[in-house]
Chain A
Amino acid sequence: MPMPFHIHVTVNKADQHHDVEPRLLLVHYLRDVCGLTGTHVGCETSLCGACTVLVDGKAVKSCTMFAVQADGSSVTTIEGLATNGQLHAVQQGFWECHGLQCGFCTPGMIMTSVALLARNAAPSREQIAEGLRGNLCRCTGYSHIIDAVNHAAKAVARG
């Protein structure tokens, strides 16, 4: 058995210290060790984006990163977006525009969209679609998801 590796990760602003197997993927660390099951496992093959979280502000597929690589980083999951019971603008956008049906892809869609809007506060529909190309949805046909992100961008701009 390999040596466990000690990691310190800030997850949704809370300090987490654990000894983990080096082969533990970040998505399983978040779900099984930290108990944050909002991050979903869709394909396990780096394609669907359901597992997307923010690591130091950047959207990454947490099924394609070892937890040990996140040592010393700050991770934000879907559970970390709302503040004081107030949905994040992107969450609100998905709510208002029916940006989901079964909801399986939604945490990943929202995390990727949050990072997208942080880079580009007023994206075009084409830029939203391109920004979400690493996130697959089997239900919505994407149109309402683009509406939702657009809605969020406009809501933030209005302040």
Chain B
Amino acid sequence: MQTSFINIEDIRNDFPILKRKVHKDKPLVYLDNAATTQKPIQVIEAISNYYLTYNSNIHRAVHELAEEATLAYETTRDKIAKFINAKNREEVVFVRGTTEAINLVAYAWGRQNINKDDIIVTTEYEHHSNIVPWQLLAKEKGAKLEYIGVDDNGELILDHLDKYLQTGKVKLVAFSQMSNVLGTITDSEEIVKRCKKYGARVLIDGAQSVPHLKVDLQKLDCDFFAFSAHKMLGPTGVGVLWARKELLQNMVPFNGGGDMIREVHKYETTWNDLPYKFEAGTPNIADVIGFAAALDYLDKIGMDKVREHEMELTKYALDKLSQMKGIVLYGPKDVTKRGGVISFNLGDIHPHDLATIIDEDGIAIRSGHHCAQVLMERLDVSATSRASFYIYNTKEEVDVFVKSLNRAKELFKL
């Protein structure tokens, strides 16, 4: 039960849920990791330990519990800064998730900096969370939203970006570092380089990249970066917005309330320091603390190992799948250009039917548009099936998956 890179047996033992059976007696084969990953016992215990032994509100009280909770909460911030190689801890803002991070930027930066006839550029392979906020902003401001297209190999057509940049009107380029449907890894450094030349700001959606690749913000050199804890072994309800200090300093607050203020008078308020200016109200303390345990877990394995394990598994799966008659696989063929996300269609079996059938064999995959309807239109399909891997998946599970696909083919007489 090994790839050459990590000891999966040890890892699987840390995930209690992987021991459960579904549909009475089928071992769970969890291949829906791009939607959310499972949580190791270390994360679950970190959360329950907080509630059991030092539950209290943070930042304001002086009692011992509050000090412990504040320390644990703020230590997570340091760990995140280190994990993504951010220069300053105060550039790390806790939010609910990637979606909220992007909306925060659209609201607190976008409304001040995007004007009539400006251009916002995104891509055809974005998640709805990196499209809809920009549509709303563009409508409000009379700005234009443009798309970098996707070629037949599932990669971005960077010539499109150049064309928009040359108009001199692009204020922001927002793209995902890894597509949640195609798995394509975006040539992010190249995009940032081109944007810099024209003074366009760059937002990167790291929801799929941070869990699976080593991310280095110093190398990326972007302006905004967003990701979610729940896609990288952490709990739901926690995410991160990282942004350059000078941008955060000039941005208006997103929410007003407690914690984000320095002084409140009847008609005037001064803002708290970064990052607290953007963290109004009691935050999700327990889950932020749980997130730290997830970061520790990934650190212990090493993100290079995570990546290598997933490449090996993805290659193994792609080799098997591409031999199936009637299968259409989307995204780059070369596993060095993609993450462990495989979208496909099998004959005329609708993805929802396929997911229903293989669920009976204990296999959890995703079917539908994956919150990427612009991409579905580009691929000219209404839906795809998607299998996505993580550190605890094995080649044996890929075999079970392929066998189950063959059963679906038989049922559909293909």
A, B: real partners: no
